[in-house]
Amino acid sequence: MRIATLLLPSVAYLLVMFVFPFAYGVLLSLRPGTGGVSPANYLAFLLDPWQARTIWVTASIAVPNTIVTVLLALIVAYAMRRGIRGERTITTALVLPIALGTVLVAEGINGFYGPKGWLNQALVGLGVGEPTRLTHNYTGVMIALFVQHFPFCFLMLLGYISGIDPALEASARVLGAGAWAVFRRVMWPLIAPGVAIAFALVFVMNFGVFPSAVLVGQPAGATRTIAIAAYQQAFEHSDMSMASAIAVVMGVCQLAGLGLILVLRRRMAGTGVATMGAGKR
Amino acid sequence: MRGRLWRLAVSLFVLGFLLNLAGIVGHVVVSSFARRWFATPVPSAFTTEWYAYAWREFQLDQVLTVTLTVAGTVTAAALLLGFPAAYLLARHEFRGKGPLLLLFFLPLLVPQMTYGIPLATTLYRYRIGGTVAGVIAANLVPMLPLAIFVLLPFLEQISVSLEWAARVHGATRVQVFRRVIVPLALPGLLTAGLLVLVNTVANFELTFLLSGAGSQTLVVALYYAVFAAGMRPIYSVDAMAVIYMAVVLAVLVLALRFVRPTQMVFRLDRRD
Amino acid sequence: MITSLAFRLTKRFGAKTVLDDLALEVRGREFVTFLGPSGCGKSTALNLLAGLLQPTVGEIRLDGARIDGLPPERRGFGMVFQNYALFPHLTVGANVAFGLAIRGLGKVELAPRVRRMLELVRLTGLEDRYPGQLSGGQQQRVAIARALAVEPRVLLLDEPLSNLDAKLRLEMRGEIKRLHGELGLTSIYVTHDQTEALSLSDRVVVLRDGRVVQAGAPAEIHDRPRTLFVADFMGYRNAFPVTVSAAEGDMVVGRAPDITLRGLGVVALASGTAAVAVVRPEDVEVAAEPPGTNVVRGTVRFTEYLGREHGVEVVLGGGQTVTARLPHPAAVGSALTLRLPPERVVILPAEDGAR
């Protein structure tokens, strides 16, 4: 069957390199170092406050950050939906953090936002007072994540919002709706699905935060995320079984978060009217 | 008017963000040229010696080679494997297409740390961990779906009637592929290839988990350098960072000639 | 040159039957048209003949030999598509030469043949243009040239003129007719436009919901439709329910409360059966005589200027409407007597819920 031969390599690759290791990891997590098949790893993780708190830490980073990122990205993208002077320059500039990646942005933040960096120098110079500690702590990680994910989220939403037929807005205005009414009654129902997806993607990216938490945060303290815990188990303690268990817990938390987003979205979307009128690009 | 206030606020925010970005990047660049720099707006003295230092100490010739090898191979493999798959998904509806698309979407949705650790465990067990091959294999996991999803809309745009016209007039399936589909899919292949390239160069987590001493890409080497910052002067680390930026910018500039910025992120309107 | 293309085709997609036992034999040099509204299965039939689809049941025989097992590239047909399907990345010349290049002809041999093809479709000199630079009509000619270049045993045309404007359609219709005759082609044409079907064909096959409703020469379909569906398709806008009261040879008389119509009975109709009398607006005339058989009187409800003539709607005493095309205008509200010539009226069997 031709269909099978064209698809087979890709499907096989993902089955072997994604599904299988995942399944293997789950199985491994149930075979703790102490022997036998048991959920001992999971219990150990969840009952150890030092480990279990990583869930809370990660959530306390991911949730606020996602909300702020998506909200701001939505506002800016919505404002720019009909084009703005210099849009090409702005969008090109915003591609930069995405292309540069997490490590470079983290390092740059350590420099720019550091105690001796330009930002603090400027604040001191302007007489705003003694520099606040913005790096190697929770704040640093929040800044880093925002700088990385805002452009990504913004570009996604910009593309999505621009794709909506401008005639819809125009007809609403002609019928008497002001800017806020247009947003609430016409645009938001159409944009909501895209925002939900953006929210989900950014949340997942934030929840898996690793290099930023290490380089710009306090990996041993305030920003010890669950990814760090998993990594330490794998490469510092060589306990692959436990590391897999933590990875599974991480995955479950993300799924739970995604599930919550889906439920909220369904509540918001209401009728199928939400997807009508989303024009093609 | 409220509208104008809003627009002003948005403009200020965007400006602020861009200045912020410039500051972050700029700081790294300036630092890489500093001889010594403490709490002054600009370093007291400049030098270029850190670049040679970084090149030597961080073995950047090897690291660069690895980076380019990995990025090139992953791109080629993603396109080779992904093109037929994307073609099929673009043309046919079949039972199981939904779950299949989900399978392809998962590596993009699940963070690399979550599946990277089991993946690393498996690859190390089979002795591929820590090698360049292992890094390539791991990076292909998210990049293959990326290539497929970027190619999909391009291939859907190619009208089926073109294939029909070719077949009726004598072309076998292979000839149709070669003479009609591939030439028309070229823009899509280019876009997908460039996006995979950019993403692979910057990709951290999977490479971090899978690389050994001789198989680090630039971004991972940079991480280690920053991490062990106490051992080396920060300026040399920043010099390495600038070299990394130069590589990324080179690829980015190439990519932006063919790809719009909004195409470089995940296309939302396709998925819904 | 083929002698015959005979086929019997049934195509089902899951539970849906798209084509139900379409059986036909096309003779060499014949021009056959599948005519019907969208969804009637005509394009499916063409795709089955081309080999782009496989029949659920059935066979196709070319000069007696079965070809339904052959893939499209081995059937030696030519096909013209509704959206032209020109390869955008190839020049006009390369498009036309496509089938020949596949067959292995070299550049040297191709050039003169391409030139001759383009001359045939009156597009000389455009070899190096790209399809995107041509107008719709030109693109369609290139598509035709491409199909003819391979000297096809049968030429398949799938609504080739639908995307062209009215004037071009007229012109291209003439071109297709000319080429078919000049080159001695066997052509199978698909359309929903009855004028095209009548003008081009030796035989018309009317399809509805995958079934053949009527097949015959254009004149026969036009003057003697056998069902209400075909009549409606052929422009018999007026339909009056009647009861058959008498039959004399070909002619039948049908009666309704205040109309009596004598017309052509194309199907045998017994006295007392329910029937429908149909007549074209163009055939309705203004009458001099008083109301009687085939003459009715009513009030003008609506009138429309159509250039050459006037569209007039007349409401009769019993509430029926007669639509007519008349040479002179009529004032709304005025009384008008109309004649429905018996030789232009057709009496058809009534159908349940059909129109």
- Domains (ranges, CATH) in chain A? 50-275 (1.10.3720.10)
* Chain C residues in contact with B166 (beta carbon < 8 A): 87, 98
Tell me the residues of chain B between 231 and 250 that have a Cβ less than 8 Å away from chain A: 237-238, 241, 244-245, 248-249
B52: which 2 tokens? Answer: 């040679």
In this predicted structure, the answer to whether residue C174 has a pLDDT above a threshold of 80 is yes
Mean predicted confidence (pLDDT) in B226-238: 80
* Chain A residues in contact with B103 (beta carbon < 8 A): 11, 14-15, 19
Instruction: Give B233 to chain A, closest Cα distance, Å.
Output: 13
Mean predicted confidence (pLDDT) in C259-284: 90
- Whether C52 sits inside 8 A of B180 (CB atoms) is no
* Chain C residues in contact with B169 (beta carbon < 8 A): 73, 78-79, 98-99, 102, 146-147, 150
* Chain B residues in contact with C83 (beta carbon < 8 A): 159, 161
Neighbours of B, requiring at least 3 CB pairs below 8 Å, are A, C
pLDDT at A1: 58
* Dihedral sign computed on CA atoms, order B61, B67, B73, B79: negative
pLDDT at A2: 67
Q: Closest Cα to residue A101, out of B47, C89, B67? A: B67
Tell me the residues of chain C between 62 and 81 that have a Cβ less than 8 Å away from chain B: 71-73, 75, 77-79, 81
At B223, is the secondary structure helix, strand, or coil?
A: helix
Cα–Cα distance, A226 to A46 (Å, whole number): 12
pLDDT at A173: 81
Q: Compute the mean pLDDT over every residue in chain A, rounded to the nearest whole number.
A: 84
C104: which 2 tokens? Answer: 């292995």
Instruction: Give the pLDDT band of residue A274 (cuts 50, 70, 90).
Output: very low
Tell me the residues of chain A between 207 and 266 that have a Cβ less than 8 Å away from chain B: 207-208, 210-211, 214-215, 227, 230-231, 234, 240, 243-244, 246-247, 250-251, 254
Cα–Cα distance, C325 to C318 (Å, whole number): 21
pLDDT at C155: 95
Helix B60-91, helix B218-227: angle, nearest 10: 130
Mean predicted confidence (pLDDT) in B190-200: 91
In this predicted structure, the answer to whether residue A89 has a pLDDT above a threshold of 90 is no
Q: Closest Cα to residue C49, out of C153, C134, C120? A: C153
Domain residue ranges in chain B: 2-46, 49-271
Instruction: Give the pLDDT band of residue A77 (cuts 50, 70, 90).
Output: very high
Lowest mean pLDDT among A230-239, C135-144, C201-210: A230-239
Instruction: Give the pLDDT band of residue C73 (cuts 50, 70, 90).
Output: confident
* Residue whose token pair is 């919550």: A260
- Rg of chain C (C-alpha set): 24
How far from chain centre, in Å, is Cα B68?
A: 12
- Whether B269 sits inside 8 A of A250 (CB atoms) is no
Mean predicted confidence (pLDDT) in C28-51: 92
CATH of domain B49-271: 1.10.3720.10
Tens of pLDDT, residues A23-52 = 888 888 888 777 777 788 888 888 888 888
The amino acid sitting at B176 is V
pLDDT at C57: 93
pLDDT at B36: 83
Mean predicted confidence (pLDDT) in A266-277: 53
Please check whether residues C175 and C51 belong to one and the same domain.
Answer: yes
Please check whether residues C341 and C286 belong to one and the same domain.
Answer: yes
- When scoring C70, C73, C155 by the number of chain B Cβ atoms within 10 A, the one with the most, hence best to mutate, is C73
* Chain A residues in contact with B209 (beta carbon < 8 A): 231, 234
Tens of pLDDT, residues B91-101 = 888 888 888 88
Please check whether residues C193 and C245 belong to one and the same domain.
Answer: no
Kindly report the CATH number assigned to the domain that includes residue C260.
Answer: 2.40.50.140
Residue C269 lies in a domain: yes
Q: Closest Cα to residue A190, out of A259, A263, A279? A: A279
Instruction: Give the pLDDT band of residue B228 (cuts 50, 70, 90).
Output: confident
CB A218 within 8 A of CB B81: no
- Whether chain B has a CB inside 8 Å of the CB on A157: the answer is yes
Query: Which residue, C201, C223, C245, sits at the end of a domain?
Result: C223
Query: Which residue, C202, C223, C244, sits at the end of a domain?
Result: C223
How far from chain centre, in Å, is Cα C255?
A: 32
Lowest mean pLDDT among A26-40, B123-137, C173-187: A26-40
- Whether C51 sits inside 8 A of B164 (CB atoms) is no
Touch test B–A: 3 Cβ pairs or more under 8 Å? yes
Mean predicted confidence (pLDDT) in C104-128: 91
Lowest mean pLDDT among A23-27, A65-69, A176-180, C305-309: A176-180
For residue B110, give the nearest of A24, A162, A251 by CB distance.
A251
The residue range of the domain holding C344 is: 228-349
In this predicted structure, the answer to whether residue A271 has a pLDDT above a threshold of 60 is no
Please check whether residues C328 and C187 belong to one and the same domain.
Answer: no
pLDDT at C334: 92
- Whether chain B has a CB inside 8 Å of the CB on C150: the answer is yes
- Whether chain B has a CB inside 8 Å of the CB on C107: the answer is no
pLDDT at A114: 84
pLDDT at B267: 62
Query: Which residue, C198, C223, C248, sits at the end of a domain?
Result: C223
Q: Closest Cα to residue C207, out of C23, C32, C42? A: C42
Cα–Cα distance, A143 to A128 (Å, whole number): 20
Beta carbons within 10 angstroms of residue A238's beta carbon: 10
* Chain C residues in contact with B179 (beta carbon < 8 A): 87, 98
Tens of pLDDT, residues A208-218 = 899 988 888 88
Instruction: Give the pLDDT band of residue B16 (cuts 50, 70, 90).
Output: very high
> How long, in residues, is chain A?
281
B84: which 2 tokens? Answer: 């037929």
Higher-pLDDT residue of A45 and C202 is C202
Touch test C–A: 3 Cβ pairs or more under 8 Å? no
Tell me the residues of chain B between 66 and 95 that have a Cβ less than 8 Å away from chain A: 81-82, 84-85, 87-89, 92, 94
H/E segment holding residue C32: strand C31-35
Residue of B nearest to A9 (CA): B81
In this predicted structure, the answer to whether residue A125 has a pLDDT above a threshold of 70 is yes
* Residue whose token pair is 């790294």: B28
In this predicted structure, the answer to whether residue C32 has a pLDDT above a threshold of 90 is yes
Residue of A nearest to B228 (CA): A215
- Whether chain A has a CB inside 8 Å of the CB on B44: the answer is no
Q: Closest Cα to residue B135, out of B82, B191, B190, B65? A: B65
Cα–Cα distance, C89 to C98 (Å, whole number): 12
Instruction: Give B169 to chain C, closest Cα distance, Å.
Output: 5
Q: Compute the mean pLDDT over every residue in chain C, rounded to the nearest whole number.
A: 91
Cα–Cα distance, A214 to A61 (Å, whole number): 13
B114: which 2 tokens? Answer: 């979550």
- Whether B3 sits inside 8 A of A158 (CB atoms) is no
Instruction: Give C191 to chain B, closest Cα distance, Å.
Output: 17
Neighbours of A, requiring at least 3 CB pairs below 8 Å, are B
* Chain A residues in contact with B263 (beta carbon < 8 A): 159
Instruction: Give the pLDDT band of residue C353 (cuts 50, 70, 90).
Output: low
Residue C355 lies in a domain: no
Neighbours of C, requiring at least 3 CB pairs below 8 Å, are B
Instruction: Give B93 to chain C, closest Cα distance, Å.
Output: 13
- Whether C150 sits inside 8 A of B162 (CB atoms) is no
pLDDT at A275: 40
Tens of pLDDT, residues C123-162 = 999 999 999 999 988 999 999 999 999 899 999 999 999 9
Residue of B nearest to C90 (CA): B180
Instruction: Give A261 to chain B, closest Cα distance, Å.
Output: 14
> How long, in residues, is chain C?
355
Strand order in the sheet with C155-158: C78-80, C155-158, C187-191, C31-35, C203-208, C211-216
Please check whether residues C32 and C103 belong to one and the same domain.
Answer: yes
Residue C214 lies in a domain: yes
* Chain A residues in contact with B110 (beta carbon < 8 A): 204, 251, 254
Cα–Cα distance, C108 to A207 (Å, whole number): 65
Q: Closest Cα to residue C301, out of C285, C316, C281, C284? A: C316
Please check whether residues C82 and C161 belong to one and the same domain.
Answer: yes
For residue C72, give the nearest of B168, B179, B180 by CB distance.
B168
pLDDT at A123: 79
pLDDT at A241: 86
Q: Closest Cα to residue A276, out of A206, A193, A204? A: A193
- Give the β-pairing of C346-349 and C310-316: unpaired
CB C101 within 8 A of CB B168: no
* Chain B residues in contact with A254 (beta carbon < 8 A): 110-111, 114
pLDDT at C305: 93
Cα–Cα distance, C206 to C228 (Å, whole number): 12
Instruction: Give the pLDDT band of residue C352 (cuts 50, 70, 90).
Output: low
- Whether B168 sits inside 8 A of C78 (CB atoms) is yes
Cα–Cα distance, C144 to C160 (Å, whole number): 9
For residue C150, give the nearest of B170, B180, B184 by CB distance.
B170
Please check whether residues C247 and C158 belong to one and the same domain.
Answer: no
In this predicted structure, the answer to whether residue A82 has a pLDDT above a threshold of 90 is no
pLDDT at A48: 86
In this predicted structure, the answer to whether residue B176 has a pLDDT above a threshold of 90 is yes
Mean predicted confidence (pLDDT) in A132-156: 89
Kindly report the CATH number assigned to the domain that includes residue C15.
Answer: 3.40.50.300
* Residue whose token pair is 């918001």: A268
pLDDT at B270: 45
C197: which 2 tokens? Answer: 């079907």
Mean predicted confidence (pLDDT) in C264-277: 87
Instruction: Give the pLDDT band of residue A185 (cuts 50, 70, 90).
Output: confident
Structurally, how many domains does chain C consist of? 2
Please check whether residues C193 and C239 belong to one and the same domain.
Answer: no
